[in-house]
A and B are shown apart, each in its own frame.
Chain A
Amino acid sequence: MTLPLQTRSAEVRLQGVGKRYGQIQAVKPLDLVIEGGTLVTLLGPSGCGKTTLLRLIAGLEQATEGQLFIGGRDVTLLPAGERNVSMVFQSYALFPHMSVLDNVAYGLVSSGLRKREAHVRAEATLEVVGLKGFGTRLPSEMSGGQQQRVAVARALVLEPEVLLFDEPLSNLDARLRRSMREEIRALQQRLGLTVVYVTHDQAEALAVSDKIVVMRNAEIAQVGTPEELYTQPNSVFVATFMGEANHIRGRIEAVEDGVARVALDALRIDLPARGMAPGEVDIVVRPEAVRIGPDGQGGMLPATVSRATYMGSHTEYYFATPVGDLFSLGADRLARRMVGDAIGLHFDPEGVVLVRP
């Protein structure tokens, strides 16, 4: 199938880019490369500067420090209209007084295209997002998901080098969110677009991204593929943000051939050392990696069941242990435990990561 759109994805490179509003440092100077043709999400809690970073790339804000390159061109001082990027807004920002077709054609007309030609191309782009024949409607006459697609079409039609999304799915209901994110991902891969995607939902980020940039307090906490971030977080913050996790502290007793022997009370586990030396260490344990050992066996982490919630397919437990409280999912493959039971715990090394304290 031939696509009516040319794609001209470009790499985005940020060198020491930062933004300050008076006293507030909304984005601390940071370096980041977004490769062409990939989908990169900016993930982080509310207020950490994701939107600001996205708007810096869009040109809606001007960086107070650093330089920004798109496709190798220095665009730091260029206004939004001259950057060859498009943006899909959280509220979609469809022009309510214009038909869907006029909305999609708006950017083309702004760029100096004749209206008729603009309409032909807008029509073709609407077809790409599956909205053929909806051109004469007003945005208010469409459903949330359809409006979202119009917003995508309106951004796509300009054949941008970079497409930006600011929490595009936050106005949709849960089910639609799931299918729209698949659609956006499919479209990005089909057209080979460079996409920067802002979200605060880690599940969404894991599902769509080639790479995730986790942000915290106006800084980048970690950059990596979804798997890297999940399995090898470099901080407790990233680990807990990427999925449910227990955070406890332990000691590395010895390191040998890149394997660390970690002591947690009576329990000993061998884990990838990730370059750490013996001493205190932060340990992140996924709830699904907590296991209840056979009764009476030694060398376990002694624990008491402090709460047990039956969830049908599994039971959620809270354990009190000498190293702190632990939360677990489906720890009892064998038998259900009751509150107050004294047991021993061990961990599946797959779900345990050492993090530099």
Chain B
Amino acid sequence: MKARPMRFAGSTLFFWTLAAIGTALVPWHMQQDGLSAGGLMALGQQDPEAASALWQAMAHGRFWFWPVVACLVLALPGALPAATASRRAGFLLAGGGLGLAAIVAQGLAIGVMGWSFPWLETTFGELGDRQFGIGLGACMAFIGCLVMLTDGLALRGLFRGDRFVSGAVGLLVASIVIFTAWPVLTMLSQMFTPRGDLGVGAALADRLFDRKIWGLACLGSSVNCGVFWNTLALATSTATAATILGLCFALIVTRTAFPAKRAMRLLTVLPIITPPFVIGLGLILIFGRSGVVNQLVEATFGVQLGRWIYGFDGVFLAQVFSFTPTAFLVLIGVVEGISPTMEEASQTLRASKMRTFRSVTLPLMIPGLANAWLVVFVESLADFGNPIVLGGSYGVLSTEIFFAVVGAQQDFGRAAVLAGIMLVVGLCAFLLQRAVVGRRSYVSVTGKGDAGLQQTLPRPVKIVAFAVAIPWAILTVTVYCMALAGAFVRVWGRDWTPTLSHFRRAFAIEWAPDGRMLFSGGAWHSLFTTIELAATAAPITASIGLLAAWVLTRQRFVGRTALEFSLMLTFAVPGTVIGVAYILTYNIPPLEITGTAMILIACFVFRNLPVGVRSGVAAMSQLDKSLDEAAITLRASTFRALTTIVLPLLKPAIVTALVYSFVRAMTTVSAVIFLVSAEYEMATVFIINRVINGDYGLAIAYCAVLIVLMMTAIGLINLLVGRRKLGRRVAAAPAALPVGGRA
């Protein structure tokens, strides 16, 4: 057989060249006014900030780039195909590895104020120079060095000698480190910044043992407790209520002949397409001061109901409305997963239906119920939209973090402490969840339940389930309807004249004198930005997610379990924590991307990665592993096997991942709210600002448009992908959706 022709693109030499160009030719740092074609040639630039690393070192005395240059020279023999594999591996490992270290070290050590750490200044003396955030050149050099390092590892025989797998793992690890681990650690380190005349320890203790966090004053008096207890109380009650409601729904849908079952299942789609404030707004329009109920009660009985909706009750109600569908979705899987044969066995042993339910069905469901409870608990913990709209003076961690960052005092230390507490609670819940779901790894969780006839419910259980679920379903629909109705009246509660003016204010289109369309409505800008960024992030999310799924399900290598675990760990970080961590990390060099589209895209990608990974894992586990192996034995490279065999067969999963990461990017708020800028405003943030200003009409009109947009998107995939391919059972389609970590 002919030897495969050696291609330049993708070879190690290609990546060496990439790194070399990044170091020698193009500007190393990020350019303030963007990169022009002329500015691309940065060797010999007058302005050091616009010069390449090599030129900065040669002409501008920036000695800290010499190690980078030296590492590239060191790596060159490894990139040339001449030498033996083990010698090449040595050069690549040394050059690529040290090169990465040199790039990272210079970026972290030297910032806009010279040395970034005082101890460097005391060691080396004043620097007298400075540098800004990295740009194109540094990125090229980084990627080049990373791939040289992974190629070196593959040449050493790791990853079964597969360069592609090794590179994919390297990419995943690097992106987890850069976009999750580093920001979170940076944020946590902010806890230790000294404040005023307090030292490190005292400042930390002062922040950590704040009465506003841990205070228990509410037990004796009517004062609010600390935010930690508030959050815990809220999350616990929401989780309990939503799990019970979700169970009732799940039992009805899976175990009765209820005619509206299909409609009920639609409920599970709601949390995905609902912008986070719709429910809160709906509740305000019903129970708020000028809400329908309040007005009716006042008109009939002359009693003022007051502002009870603002506070624990309101947030609790809103969260239960928001997260019951999530619990429902999880529990459908749980109930369907119970093998009917167990129940049949119990009945043949002369147990009554009720006894079977109590002694077999319910115990079997306990791990599933606990899982649902924890999922909702985490959602409630991370929820930002409901508490910000309805919380009033009832502060929870997410809103306190927000006010610590954007409020008058701008206390990042406090924000870091609060976020740290939130992170710890979130991780505890995550670890508990792993313990509950069992030692089954993330990869194998996608098992199928037994086939067979599901038992019907015992009568008393059925009555309770219907009595709880039906009113709740009606209430949910009412809240949504009320919320949406608010978009069509002039001023809710005062002026009920039907109007489209809110839509006009948000989405007016005018014709300029020269015939061009002018999107003059106030919402257009944020809508376009949102769609653009969500659409940019979706393919990246889907690719990284599927790549991760493929690596995790199909490859075996040292450290796979660790990679899987750290990936899951990043999923457990609440959105608010990520938001704070990102602004703290990325508003200074070396990676200065605050205020750009990049930070939002990174946030979307890493917040929504679970969608990609989960749909990828679900699809991949249905794909016979010997298909890719067959391709490999048929002389296909790993990359060719992935692109010609795996990807075409994963088309439904890809489309699902794309659309859902797009939709979720459009409805997310908790992290994004910290990251928006005037130029890049997001729809959800625009809406929340209207809500804060009391402009409910416009906010709701905007939500309505978003809901329609996202339903269209989801409807489109169902048309495109078709239901059949998504799985035999109806539940298989939504089961591939991510649960948790939405906020």
- Measured CB to CB, the nearest residue on chain B to A159 is B1
* Contact between chains at B4 and A112 (CB < 8 Å): yes
* Contact between chains at B648 and A58 (CB < 8 Å): no
Partner of A110, one of B624, B635, B649: B635
Most central of B3, B627, B637 by chain A CB within 10 Å: B627
> Please, which residues of chain A bring their CB within 8 A of the CB of B2?
111-113
> Please, which residues of chain A bring their CB within 8 A of the CB of B125?
none
Given contacts A81-B636, A95-B645, contact A111 B627 (CB under 8 A): no
Most central of A59, A81, A90, A94 by chain B CB within 10 Å: A81
In the complex, A79→B166 CA distance in Å?
Answer: 14
Contacting residues of chain A (74-107) with chain B, CB-CB under 8 angstroms: 77, 79-82, 84-87, 89-91, 93-97, 106-107
In the complex, A105→B626 CA distance in Å?
Answer: 18
**Of B75-83, B135-143, B157-165, B669-677, which binds chain A?**
B157-165
Q: Is A158 an interface residue (CB 8 A)?
A: yes
> Please, which residues of chain B bring their CB within 8 A of the CB of A155?
633
> Please, which residues of chain A bring their CB within 8 A of the CB of B161?
62, 77, 79
Contacting residues of chain A (144-203) with chain B, CB-CB under 8 angstroms: 154-155, 158-159
* Contact between chains at A77 and B157 (CB < 8 Å): yes
* Contact between chains at A79 and B162 (CB < 8 Å): yes
> Please, which residues of chain A bring their CB within 8 A of the CB of B631?
95, 106, 110
* Contact between chains at A86 and B633 (CB < 8 Å): yes
> Please, which residues of chain B bring their CB within 8 A of the CB of A77?
157, 161
> Please, which residues of chain B bring their CB within 8 A of the CB of A5?
none
- Measured CB to CB, the nearest residue on chain A to B651 is A97
Q: Report B314 CB to chain A, min CB distance, Å.
A: 52
* Contact between chains at A79 and B632 (CB < 8 Å): yes
In the complex, the number of residue pairs spanning A and B with C-beta atoms less than 8 Å apart equals: 78
Q: Is A323 an interface residue (CB 8 A)?
A: no
* Contact between chains at B634 and A60 (CB < 8 Å): no
Q: Report A122 CB to chain B, min CB distance, Å.
A: 12
> Please, which residues of chain B bring their CB within 8 A of the CB of A87?
629-630, 633
* Contact between chains at A95 and B627 (CB < 8 Å): yes
Most central of B2, B5, B636, B637 by chain A CB within 10 Å: B636
* Contact between chains at A107 and B634 (CB < 8 Å): yes
Contacting residues of chain B (2-35) with chain A, CB-CB under 8 angstroms: 2-5
- Measured CB to CB, the nearest residue on chain B to A164 is B633
* Contact between chains at B630 and A158 (CB < 8 Å): no
* Contact between chains at A60 and B632 (CB < 8 Å): yes
> Please, which residues of chain A bring their CB within 8 A of the CB of B648?
97
> Please, which residues of chain B bring their CB within 8 A of the CB of A97?
648-649
Q: Report B565 CB to chain A, min CB distance, Å.
A: 17
* Contact between chains at B4 and A93 (CB < 8 Å): no
Q: Is B640 an interface residue (CB 8 A)?
A: yes
In the complex, A93→B631 CA distance in Å?
Answer: 9
* Contact between chains at A107 and B635 (CB < 8 Å): yes
* Contact between chains at B160 and A111 (CB < 8 Å): no
Partner of B640, one of A59, A60, A110: A110
Interface string of B640-651 (1 = CB under 8 A from A): 100011001100
In the complex, A112→B633 CA distance in Å?
Answer: 15
Given contacts A91-B626, A95-B645, A112-B5, contact A58 B635 (CB under 8 A): no
Given contacts A81-B632, A86-B633, contact A93 B624 (CB under 8 A): yes
Contact count band on B: 20 to 34
* Contact between chains at B5 and A93 (CB < 8 Å): no
> Please, which residues of chain B bring their CB within 8 A of the CB of A107?
634-636
* Contact between chains at A81 and B635 (CB < 8 Å): yes
Given contacts A96-B649, A97-B649, contact A81 B633 (CB under 8 A): yes
- Measured CB to CB, the nearest residue on chain B to A21 is B556
* Contact between chains at A89 and B160 (CB < 8 Å): no
Contacting residues of chain A (98-144) with chain B, CB-CB under 8 angstroms: 106-107, 110-113
* Contact between chains at A111 and B626 (CB < 8 Å): no
> Please, which residues of chain A bring their CB within 8 A of the CB of B629?
60, 80, 87, 89, 93
- Measured CB to CB, the nearest residue on chain B to A78 is B161
In the complex, A24→B636 CA distance in Å?
Answer: 30
> Please, which residues of chain A bring their CB within 8 A of the CB of B1?
84, 111, 158-159
Most central of A86, A89, A154 by chain B CB within 10 Å: A89
* Contact between chains at A79 and B634 (CB < 8 Å): no
> Please, which residues of chain A bring their CB within 8 A of the CB of B627?
93, 95
In the complex, A59→B632 CA distance in Å?
Answer: 9
In the complex, A82→B634 CA distance in Å?
Answer: 9
Most central of B4, B162, B634, B640 by chain A CB within 10 Å: B634
* Contact between chains at B649 and A158 (CB < 8 Å): no
Q: Report B298 CB to chain A, min CB distance, Å.
A: 66
In the complex, A107→B635 CA distance in Å?
Answer: 6
* Contact between chains at A90 and B160 (CB < 8 Å): no
- Measured CB to CB, the nearest residue on chain A to B162 is A79
* Contact between chains at A86 and B634 (CB < 8 Å): yes
> Please, which residues of chain A bring their CB within 8 A of the CB of B637?
81, 110
Interface string of B610-639 (1 = CB under 8 A from A): 000000000000001011011111111100
Interface string of B446-472 (1 = CB under 8 A from A): 000000000000000000000000000
> Please, which residues of chain B bring their CB within 8 A of the CB of A94?
630
Interface string of A245-274 (1 = CB under 8 A from B): 000000000000000000000000000000
- Measured CB to CB, the nearest residue on chain A to B631 is A106
> Please, which residues of chain B bring their CB within 8 A of the CB of A89?
626, 629-630
Contacting residues of chain B (150-176) with chain A, CB-CB under 8 angstroms: 157, 160-162
* Contact between chains at A79 and B160 (CB < 8 Å): yes
- Measured CB to CB, the nearest residue on chain B to A96 is B649
Q: Report B315 CB to chain A, min CB distance, Å.
A: 48
In the complex, A155→B629 CA distance in Å?
Answer: 13
Q: Report A106 CB to chain B, min CB distance, Å.
A: 5
In the complex, A111→B640 CA distance in Å?
Answer: 11
* Contact between chains at B633 and A106 (CB < 8 Å): no
> Please, which residues of chain B bring their CB within 8 A of the CB of A85?
633
Q: Report B641 CB to chain A, min CB distance, Å.
A: 9
> Please, which residues of chain A bring their CB within 8 A of the CB of B157?
77
Most central of B161, B629, B635, B645 by chain A CB within 10 Å: B635
In the complex, A96→B161 CA distance in Å?
Answer: 28
- Measured CB to CB, the nearest residue on chain A to B556 is A21
In the complex, A95→B641 CA distance in Å?
Answer: 11
> Please, which residues of chain B bring their CB within 8 A of the CB of A113?
2
> Please, which residues of chain B bring their CB within 8 A of the CB of A90?
626
* Contact between chains at A106 and B634 (CB < 8 Å): yes
In the complex, A60→B640 CA distance in Å?
Answer: 16
Most central of B1, B627, B645 by chain A CB within 10 Å: B1
> Please, which residues of chain A bring their CB within 8 A of the CB of B635?
81-82, 107, 110-111, 158
Q: Report B496 CB to chain A, min CB distance, Å.
A: 58
In the complex, A296→B637 CA distance in Å?
Answer: 75
In the complex, A159→B634 CA distance in Å?
Answer: 11
In the complex, A93→B2 CA distance in Å?
Answer: 25
The 30 sampled A-B contact pairs (Cβ below 8 Å) are A58-B633, A60-B633, A79-B632, A80-B629, A80-B632, A80-B633, A81-B635, A84-B1, A87-B629, A89-B630, A90-B626, A91-B624, A91-B626, A95-B630, A95-B645, A106-B631, A106-B634, A107-B634, A110-B631, A110-B634, A110-B636, A111-B4, A112-B2, A112-B3, A112-B4, A113-B2, A154-B634, A155-B633, A158-B635, A159-B1
* A-binding residues in B (CB < 8 A): 1-5, 157, 160-162, 624, 626-627, 629-637, 640, 644-645, 648-649
- A85-B633, A91-B626, A106-B636 are known; give 6 further A-B pairs, CB within 8 A: A59-B633, A90-B626, A94-B630, A95-B627, A106-B634, A154-B634
- Nearest 9 pairs between A and B by C-beta? A107-B634, A93-B630, A93-B626, A110-B635, A110-B636, A89-B626, A81-B635, A87-B633, A80-B632
* B-binding residues in A (CB < 8 A): 58-60, 62, 77, 79-82, 84-87, 89-91, 93-97, 106-107, 110-113, 154-155, 158-159
